[in-house]
A and B are shown apart, each in its own frame.
Chain A
Amino acid sequence: MEWNNKKSFGELHFTEGGFLFDPSTGVTFSLNKTASFIFNRLRRGESEKSILKELIKKFGADENIAREDMAEFTKQLKEFRLISRGQK
């Protein structure tokens, strides 16, 4: 499964500190460390599987909890129309 974004990640302004700005709507978001970690990798085009693996390794999280967190975060990104999900 891959993440396609409506606006392309390049159009979104994102800083390492976790500040995200959508230039088409003017809406800003504050991302916590985990969300920033996921978002940064999503915009680099990494797969969900690979990000999950890194997430567990870096934060020492339980696999099921990490999977749930990631699903929740990506759901929110979709709700805010920052990305749309597409199947390959």
Chain B
Amino acid sequence: MTTCRAGVTGLNAADNPAPGIAVIRSLKADPHWHGKIYGLGYDALDTGAYSSDLLDGAFLLPYPAEGESMLLQRIKYIAERTGLEVLIPTLDSEMMNFSMIESELKELGINMLVPSPYQIKLRSKMFLGEFCRKNSFPVPRSAAIMNPEQLNRCAGELGIPLVIKGIFHGAYTALNLEEARVYFNRIKNQWGIPVIVQEFLSGEEYDVVSLCDMENGIIGAVAMRKLRITEKGTAWAGITVRDEELLELSSKILERLKWVGPVELEYMKDSREGKYYIIEINPRFPSWVYLAAEAGQNLPLAALKLAGGEKVEPYSSYHTGLTFVRHAVDLVCPIDYLESLTLRGELSFNEKESKKNKKGTAKKTRA
């Protein structure tokens, strides 16, 4: 599979970075990798689409709201152009559509390792509380609300501060009801309703990235403590840790979910009791997955191999104390990159790179 043609989604590595670039970096980190990688984005300004050092090309996809049939149509076109063999979707918002067209893609010769629509629903923010309570997994109290008037009741039941979360992304801690209303509207405008309101727990945040095969067997798991967190709740620095209690809890949750594919489990370790509470389960790799690859578990590569039908031996260990810090880099590119993505929704770096070498990168213009 290290010579295959892979498509990876989630290219926008901005303030709330999508995991695609980390997945691609992990694949390319393998010394035996000789395949081709196509980035699949949604907007001509998705930052990763311009990474000519990582991608062989980029294509834009229809937005998830356009539905799975539009997605299938576009993937068919991309497959005709590229010979796509494996797909790794990395965004919460698109995961249901990809899961719905898994068998159609398989018929086209495009393989994925993704959870079923039922599994995706079971761990969704709407149903996570119910799933955890039913299975006795510690979870903070939460409510899904449709309008800001319901915030008063939530504050009464869950207390203040409150954590206000989008159905797919975004999490803000509101210190009072006024702030809660502001965050409710911000999230509603970006991700729609319902908006999740969660009890605030004080403590340290931990994440586990894991991968399960088709038979729900765990192929690997790496735990990380968040060292720096942005206003949007995204880890901006972290360090690999190994706490058997945390890994065991994650394993039990995945077993109960009968999980297939990549997954990120987010926890809060309560500062008073030292107990782990499950905050979120995301049906994809996290944006920090490259840390796991560097720590000794290249889970994206394992996912690619499993999707392609290869047998993968489970990982048993990884390096602890490995740290990541994220920093922004400016990618400078010629105007025809933007032109190609804007007008045609695709960009081939092999063509562009050869043109760039012949013509130079840009013309000087006078203001």
Interface residues of A (CB under 8 A from B): 13, 21, 23-28, 81
Chain B proximity of A80: nearest CB distance (Å):
11
Q: Is the CB of B241 within 8 A of A24?
A: yes
Chain B proximity of A61: nearest CB distance (Å):
32
Closest to B225 in A: A26
Question: Using Cβ atoms and an 8 Å threshold, which residues of chain A touch B243?
Answer: 24-25
Question: Using Cβ atoms and an 8 Å threshold, which residues of chain B touch A81?
Answer: 274
Chain A proximity of B326: nearest CB distance (Å):
17
27 A-B pairs with C-beta separation under 8 A: A13-B320, A13-B321, A21-B239, A23-B241, A23-B242, A23-B320, A23-B321, A24-B241, A24-B242, A24-B243, A24-B244, A25-B204, A25-B225, A25-B241, A25-B243, A25-B269, A26-B204, A26-B206, A26-B224, A26-B227, A26-B238, A26-B239, A26-B240, A26-B241, A27-B204, A27-B225, A81-B274
Question: Using Cβ atoms and an 8 Å threshold, which residues of chain A touch B274?
Answer: 81
14 additional A-B residue pairs with CB within 8 Å, beyond A13-B321, A24-B243, A26-B239:
A21-B239, A23-B242, A23-B321, A24-B241, A24-B244, A25-B204, A25-B243, A26-B224, A26-B227, A26-B238, A26-B240, A26-B241, A27-B204, A27-B225
Q: Which of A13, A21, A23, A26 has the most CB of B within 10 A?
A: A26
Chain B proximity of A17: nearest CB distance (Å):
15
Task: Fill in one digit per residue for B208-234: 1 if any A CB lies within 8 Å of its CB, else 0.
Answer: 000000000000000011010000000
Question: Chain A interface secondary structure, helix, strand, loop or mixed?
Answer: loop
- In the complex, which range does the number of interface residues on chain B fall in? 10 to 19
Chain B proximity of A8: nearest CB distance (Å):
13
Q: Is the CB of B225 within 8 A of A21?
A: no
Pick from B238, B244, B321: contact of A21, CB below 8 A: B321
Chain A proximity of B286: nearest CB distance (Å):
16
A27–B320 Cα distance when bound, in Å, is 12
Lowest 10 CB-CB distances: which A-B pairs, in order? A26-B225, A23-B320, A26-B241, A24-B243, A26-B239, A21-B321, A13-B321, A23-B242, A23-B241, A23-B321
Question: Using Cβ atoms and an 8 Å threshold, which residues of chain A touch B241?
Answer: 23-26
A13–B320 Cα distance when bound, in Å, is 9
A21–B322 Cα distance when bound, in Å, is 11
Kindly identify, within residues 232 to 286 of chain B, every residue whose CB is under 8 Å from any CB belonging to chain A.
238-244, 269, 274
A15–B290 Cα distance when bound, in Å, is 26
